Amino acid sequence: MRCVEDMAFALKQWQELPIGRERDEVGCEVGISGQSCLWRLYNLYGFDISHDLTYDVMHTLALCVFKKYV
């Protein structure tokens, strides 16, 4: 299981890399594709992105997002 602190650390590392192959490889390894506005909630209130979100299964399957994350 991922913890939000590890994800935040990986995001900082990902942001420091120049745009290109290295950044894409790190992003694929840790599951980051970009910075979300939800990270502001983590910084302000301790919102845990990996545990506090509700996933809508019906729309996730329809958009083929399920395949990407599984």
Instruction: Report the distance separating Cα 16 and Cα 28, nearest Å.
Output: 16
Q: According to the model, what pLDDT value does residue 52 have?
A: 76
pLDDT at 62 over 70: no
Tokens standing for 16? 């420091």
Tokens standing for 15? 């942001």
pLDDT digits (tens, 9 = 90+) for 8-36: 888 888 888 888 888 888 888 877 877 88
pTM: 0.59
pLDDT at 6 over 70: yes
